[in-house]
């Protein structure tokens, strides 16, 4: 089956944290952009000659909503040519060529276990999509625990929204961990200490979903499987690099 590429128009760009922006993209050729919460799109950016130099994948941050718009949450990485191009060159009204949706980092059709979402930085994007989708669809679920890590309070993404959702969605709780702010009243350090403490007793009725940079994922997988003794099928992840 041939790859289908779309031309998306950037309708809105918003800075939501230092070096983090959301890009609202409309796909005029489609009545609605069909995807599952947790999936991603891949852009073809003019930043190199070869495919591997040009293609950059980003998780969709909004829930499926029967519209032709999607939201991407992107950090301006000092080492990323793709993010540098998006931040320096792309303005509202620009065209972005992309394909997708792709990816199997999605929730099961029937949710029968507690869900623990562990992420750092823009790795929160697919979890935002999943949580909003569960809220909007009314799909039955059990407890949901979102553990979000970043360096400082200014880097907390979608904070007001998640705090509101924690009040609205039964069984949903939200923990923030900051690694470089000593006057923070909440968790300090890294995301690992939260799940290591709160899920220290191995349970068969919980699934862990991890999203972020490979170093965080590698450590979390090792902790969950080797130190805490969870089964491989209980740990799901999406790598960011």
Condensed to tens digits (0 to 9), the pLDDT of residues 138-164 reads: 999 999 999 999 999 999 999 999 999
Tens of pLDDT along 90-125? Answer: 999 999 999 999 999 999 999 999 999 999 999 999
> Which residues, in sequence order, are bridge partners of residue 188?
178
Residue 135 has pLDDT above 70, yes or no: yes
Residue 3 has pLDDT above 90, yes or no: no
Residue 79 has pLDDT above 90, yes or no: no
The pLDDT value recorded for residue 2 is 78
Mean pLDDT for the chain overall: 96
The pLDDT value recorded for residue 52 is 81
Rounded Cα gap, residues 89 and 87, in angstroms: 6
Residue 77 has pLDDT above 90, yes or no: no
Tens of pLDDT along 37-76? Answer: 999 999 999 999 888 889 999 999 999 999 999 999 999 9
Tens of pLDDT along 183-234? Answer: 999 999 999 999 999 999 999 999 999 999 899 999 999 999 999 999 999 9
Rounded Cα gap, residues 20 and 167, in angstroms: 26
Residue 81 has pLDDT above 80, yes or no: yes
DSSP code string of 184-204: -SSEES-THHHHHHHT-S--S
- Give the rounded percent of residues in the chain with a pLDDT score beyond 70: 99
Strands 40-44 and 235-239, by their bridges, are: unpaired
Angle, CA 105 vertex, CA 202 and CA 99 arms, to 5°? 170
Domains of the chain: 5-102 (2.40.30.10), 114-239 (3.40.50.80)
Residue 241 has pLDDT above 60, yes or no: no
The pLDDT value recorded for residue 221 is 98
The pLDDT value recorded for residue 240 is 67
Residue 1 has pLDDT above 80, yes or no: no
Task: Assign 41 to helix, strand or coil.
Answer: strand
Spatial strand order of the sheet with 206-212 comes to 187-188, 172-178, 144-150, 114-120, 206-212, 235-239
């Amino acid at each position: 089956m041939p790859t289908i590429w779309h031309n998306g128009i950037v309708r809105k760009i918003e800075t939501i944290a230092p070096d983090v922006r959301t890009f609202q993209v409309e796909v005029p050729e489609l009545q609605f952009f069909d995807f599952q919460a947790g999936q991603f799109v891949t852009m073809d950016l003019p930043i190199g000659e070869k495919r591997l130099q040009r293609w950059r994948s980003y998780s969709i941050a909004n829930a499926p909503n029967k519209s032709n718009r999607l939201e991407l949450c992107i950090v301006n990485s000092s080492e990323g040519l793709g993010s540098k191009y998006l931040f320096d060159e792309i303005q509202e009204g620009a065209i972005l060529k992309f394909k997708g949706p792709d990816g199997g980092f999605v929730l099961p059709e029937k949710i029968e276990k507690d869900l623990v979402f562990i992420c750092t930085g823009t790795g929160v994007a697919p979890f935002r999509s999943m949580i909003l989708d569960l809220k909007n669809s009314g799909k039955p679920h059990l407890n949901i625990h979102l553990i979000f890590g970043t360096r400082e309070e200014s880097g907390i993404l979608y904070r007001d929204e998640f705090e509101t959702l924690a009040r609205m969605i039964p069984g949903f709780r939200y923990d923030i961990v900051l690694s470089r702010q000593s006057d923070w009243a909440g968790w300090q350090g890294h995301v690992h200490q939260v799940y290591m403490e709160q899920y220290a007793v191995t349970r068969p009725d919980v699934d862990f979903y991890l999203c972020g940079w490979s170093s965080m994922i590698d450590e979390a997988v090792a902790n969950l499987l080797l130190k805490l003794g969870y089964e491989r099928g209980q740990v799901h992840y999406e790598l960011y690099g």
